[in-house]
Each structure stands twice: as structure tokens, then as C-alpha cells.
């Protein structure tokens, strides 16, 4: 199938990537979840699509179709972007921010990828975060998660070392418990749009290249 039956998007790039020598980047994982292997496969797919990123609907429909997820259901949502979506200050700079020793130049901090709210760097769970976290919290947090028929706010981990949820470099993984598949599709398309344009058009956070959904037991 060359074109997505739902949105008409061109699926040939996905097919070319999946027919290569590497394991399919969107194959359903059976058994124990392997975080490293999952990201290795998804990054390979993203690299194939980097020159001509698919439209948001094509990315989402492809990810859902390949996921094997059932509805209602719980999933890990993995997204790869065309750029880093976390602050560039590094661990030592973030520690200095928390201790008040970093530069108070908010414009410089914003340019380094930190989210600045009310003249302060936004800190979540003792970690300074960037606009990518703001997008996720805006979309699937306490205020809006019911819009997408999510059973509860999404599970976000600000740490670079979380498993399975984390944020690092050009990767994000978060947990979502969906009430139904239709709203999962609609919601994920809107999420990718928010990353591309920013909240209320605030500016691009990152261009999504590829997505993978891994089903989880609903207890997780």
C-alpha cells in the first residue's frame, strides 16, 4: 500500500525503510520491552524520513496501524524529532540554575532551550525543562487530557535516564491510557501540530519525523 487509506499520505518512504536490512522500526514488540532497541529502530526510520518529513496524519496513522494496540488501551508513545528538544545547558548548568548560580539572562536561557515562565526558568521535579515539556503538559496534562478521552493525565518523565518514559536529545517517550482509538488518532495529530507550531503559535519546538506506539498492560 503506497498511500495512507485515511489521509492519503505517501507511505513509500516508510516501506523503503522497513524493507531495508535493519529490523522494521515499527514492528510490534512482543515480550519484554527493550528501550534501547526500540529507539535504535525508530531513529533509523527517522533518518530515512529526515529529508522529506511526512505530514502529521501519515505519521500517526502509520504508528497506530503498526502498533497492534487495542482500545481502550495503554501505550508508550515514542517520538523522534529533527532537532534536540531538551535544554542544551547540560547537567552542570542545570545544577547551577537550581542553585541560583547561573546567568540571569533569560533571553540567553530561552535560546539555550529552557522554558521561561514569569521571568523564571520552568523547573519540574528539580529539573529545568524546555518548551517540549510545556507542549506535553498542555496537551495531555490535568486540564486537557479528557479532550482526547485519556483516562488520566499522561505520564511524563523529565529525566534523561528514565525507562520507559524520558526526554533526551531529539527523543520523547511518554505514557498514555486511551479510552478509544478515534480520539487517540485525533489527539496525536494535534500533538504533533503543537510541536511544529508551538502553543498558541509560540514557535517551532521540533519537526516530528517518526512515531512508535508500544502497547502496555493497562496496569502500567
Q: What is the pLDDT along the chain (220 residues), one digit of tens a residue?
A: 455 554 555 566 555 555 543 333 333 344 578 999 999 999 999 999 999 999 999 999 999 999 988 889 999 999 999 999 988 765 445 544 554 555 556 677 777 778 877 777 778 877 788 899 999 999 999 999 999 999 999 999 988 888 899 999 999 999 999 999 889 999 999 999 999 999 999 999 999 999 999 998 766 5
Q: Taking a C-beta distance cutoff of 8 angstroms, is the pair 210, 65 a contact?
A: no
Rounded-to-integer distance, Cα 80 and Cα 98, Å = 28
Helix (H) or strand (E) holding 181: helix 181-197
Residue given cell 545547558 in the structure block: 89
Q: Taking a C-beta distance cutoff of 8 angstroms, is the pair 133, 122 a contact?
A: yes
Q: What is the DSSP letter of 25?
A: T
pTM, full prediction = 0.81
Of the candidates 164, 96, 173, 82, the residue with the CA atom closest to the CA atom of residue 128? 96
User: What does each C-alpha distance from 108 to 105, 116, 119, 163, 199 come to in angstroms?
Assistant: 5, 10, 12, 31, 20
What pLDDT, on the 0 to 100 scale, is given for residue 161?
Answer: 83
* Helices (H), ranges, 6-105: 12-18, 35-49, 56-67, 90-98
Interior CA angle at 78 toward 197 and 116, to 5°? Answer: 45
What pLDDT, on the 0 to 100 scale, is given for residue 8?
Answer: 55
Rounded-to-integer distance, Cα 209 and Cα 206, Å = 9
Q: Which three cell numbers stand for residue 185?
A: 488518532
Give the 3-state secondary structure of residue 165: coil
Q: What is the DSSP letter of 155?
A: B
What pLDDT, on the 0 to 100 scale, is given for residue 11?
Answer: 60
Rounded-to-integer distance, Cα 8 and Cα 61, Å = 10
Rounded-to-integer distance, Cα 126 and Cα 102, Å = 15
Q: Which three cell numbers stand for residue 95?
A: 545544577
Amino acid at each position: 500500500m503506497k498511500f495512507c487509506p485515511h489521509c492519503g499520505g505517501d507511505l513509500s518512504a516508510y516501506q523503503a525503510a522497513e524493507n531495508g536490512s535493519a529490523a522494521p522500526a515499527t514492528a510490534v514488540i512482543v515480550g519484554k520491552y527493550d528501550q534501547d532497541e526500540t529507539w535504535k529502530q525508530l531513529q533509523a526510520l527517522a533518518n530515512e524520513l529526515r529529508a522529506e518529513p511526512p505530514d502529521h496524519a501519515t505519521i500517526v496513522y502509520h504508528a497506530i496501524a503498526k502498533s497492534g494496540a487495542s482500545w481502550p488501551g495503554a501505550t508508550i508513545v515514542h517520538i523522534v524529532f529533527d532537532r534536540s528538544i531538551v535544554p542544551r545547558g547540560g547537567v552542570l548548568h542545570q545544577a547551577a540554575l537550581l542553585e541560583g548560580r547561573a546567568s540571569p539572562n533569560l533571553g540567553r536561557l530561552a535560546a539555550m532551550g529552557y522554558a521561561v515562565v514569569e521571568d523564571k526558568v520552568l523547573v519540574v521535579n528539580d529539573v529545568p525543562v524546555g518548551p517540549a515539556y510545556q507542549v506535553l503538559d498542555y496537551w495531555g496534562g490535568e486540564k486537557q487530557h479528557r479532550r482526547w478521552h485519556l483516562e488520566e493525565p499522561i505520564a511524563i518523565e523529565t529525566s534523561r535516564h528514565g525507562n520507559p518514559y524520558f526526554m533526551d536529545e531529539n527523543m520523547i517517550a511518554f505514557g498514555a491510557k486511551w479510552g478509544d482509538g478515534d480520539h487517540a488518532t485525533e489527539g496525536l495529530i494535534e500533538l504533533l501540530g503543537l510541536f511544529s507550531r508551538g502553543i498558541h503559535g509560540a514557535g517551532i519546538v521540533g519537526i516530528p519525523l517518526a512515531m512508535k506506539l508500544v502497547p502496555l498492560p493497562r496496569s502500567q
